[in-house]
Amino acid sequence: MKRSEFIKSLGLGASGLILPRNLLSKSKVKIYDNYIRGINRYNYSKIKSQIAIGDELQLIREESNIHDVFAVQVFYDGYKLGYLTAYENIVIAHMLDAEVELKSYVSEWGEDKDSYSRMAIEIFAERISPTPQLITALQNTSADEVVDVYRKGYKI
């Protein structure tokens, strides 16, 4: 296996990998978009006039939930709004358990903003990938000739 292929296979996301900032590219990847469930049981009616599309929401795991061991609660400014759908929350729950940084936002309103089941949430994760400069540097030089860029950079 070539060194560049090995580096790519690591995904450049392994903890402790050090690279200069200009050799990495970061982008947001949408990993979820669906309506919040149970919104009629919590604080939605108190704050629905304050919430707008694009507002940030908070995700909190609820491991002690007797109905769903993968339960993920959705909050807005400290007010509980509901949960992610039970049959779609397993991966998000595992990511939160692994302390993966996720960002979530109000993505849309359904037919009627006053309806209790019409607020959608979108969730993003950060993708870190090599830039063309890093790939070129690794492909065109042998390991002995590469300048030690790994100690000059920053820790991811």
Domains contained in the chain, CATH given: 23-130 (3.30.70.2330)
Q: Hey, which residues does 82 pair with through a beta bridge?
A: 74
| Alpha-carbon span 1 to 18, nearest angstrom | 21
Global pTM?
A: 0.69
Is residue 8 over pLDDT 90?
no
Is residue 116 over pLDDT 70?
no
Note the pLDDT of residue 76: 94
Copy the structure tokens of residue 90.
Answer: 């397993």
| Alpha-carbon span 92 to 122, nearest angstrom | 12
Closest CA relative to residue 156, chosen from 3, 26, 5: 26
Note the pLDDT of residue 70: 97
Note the pLDDT of residue 1: 53
Instruction: Quick: pLDDT tens for 34-85.
Output: 999 988 888 787 888 899 999 999 999 999 999 999 999 999 999 999 999 9
